Amino acid sequence: MAMTSKERVRAAFSNNQPDRVPINYSANPGIDGRLKDHFGLEQDDHEGLRVVLGVDFRSVGARYTGPRLHEDIPKRGVIVDNWGVRRRRVEHDTGGYWDYCDFPLQDANEETVANWPMPSPDDFDYSRIADECKRFETYAINGSGGFGDIINGNGMLRGMEQTLVDLITDDPAGLLLADRRMDVRIEVARRNLEAAKGGIDFLWLGEDLGTQIGPIISMEIFRKHIRPRYQTYCDLAKAYDVYVMMHCCGSGSWAFEDFIEMGIHVVDTLQPEAKDMSPKYLKTTFGGRLAFHGCISTAGPVATGTVAETVDYCKQTLDIMMPGGGYCFAPTHSLQDNSPTENVVAMYATARAVGRY
């Protein structure tokens, strides 16, 4: 029998076999706009695109209603969010990014970090979450309230080099920044779960732990600084009986045994080019103990190949990851603007046609 999207995803997250492989979508603005043009949709019709592609996931969250905490720097073309993260536009051949710049807390001491303006969980509107869950009640709903993202998130404010030094040296300013950021996001997630009244299915967290060739930090540092902070998220999810999915770019499988112990159910991104991240290795080593979300490389045939090569690549991944269930078809990260529209269309058509049990 055909399942609802919610039933389908929950079956996969439980390492069971659904009626078909669940499908998810994430894309940069350029390819997202081209897909909407291809399907004859308005540029603001985000829901319409997800329906056309067969996406089984939706997200809900509280809207920030508090004061503006940091100001933009128009003369330099720098935009600043409410965490104080500064970004500037960097163009490239196929589009552009808002890249991080300035790193205003790079040299900050503990007192400066303690007084740095950040959003308060009280300054979010949670009143619409139950209605949003009702609207998307047949879909699998993410209600995380924020990734967590200690290394990247701190790096946006302190720079990546200082952030890694902080973890190595136990720098109190860097650790305080991580704790302040995490505390806000965890409390927002808790209030999202409370407001949803059972409508949320999973929390989607994230911490990039690998380069393409190996770990970015040691297991000792992971267990000292990263794991305990995410354990709080995992305990929250357990209290509300929801799944936990961890986004982890690069070579991250070295930490997956710890993920299992922590109560993480699903691992996301799964860049197949990185060390010990091939579909075969992941399925053989962790299949049945972790579910998988991703594995369709945004740097592979979808971006660089033909339509036929894209179809073959997606089929090969499905052939490896599908048996026994526990797999959700998704790009390894946001689809990039250098991906030909026809390849992305073929990617999702293959998932819908081939991903049936």
What's the pLDDT at 145? 84
Instruction: Give the domain 5-67+108-354 fold.
Output: TIM Barrel (3.20.20)
Q: Is the pLDDT of residue 127 over 90?
A: yes
Asked if 331 and 348 touch (Cβ cutoff 8 Å), the reply is no
Phi, psi dihedral angles at 5 (to 5 degrees): -60, -40
Burial tier of 71 (Cβ tally within 10 Å: 0-12, 13-18, 19+): exposed
DSSP-derived secondary structure for 154-186: HHHHH-HHHHHHHHHHT-HHHHHHHHHHHHHHH
Q: Which two tokens stand for residue 199?
A: 């409508």
Average pLDDT over residues 154-162: 98
Contacts of 210 (CB under 8 A, 6+ apart): 216, 248, 249, 250, 251, 252, 254, 274, 275, 277
Q: Which residues of 331-352 are buried (b: 16+ CB within 10 A; e: fewer)?
A: bbbebbbbbbeebbbbbbbbbe
- The pLDDT tens digits of the residues spanning 73-108 come to 999 999 999 999 999 999 988 888 899 999 999 999
Average pLDDT over residues 134-148: 94
Q: Is the pLDDT of residue 1 over 90?
A: no
Do strands 78-80 and 202-206 pair parallel, antiparallel, or not at all (unpaired)?
unpaired
Element (H, E) at 96: strand 95-101
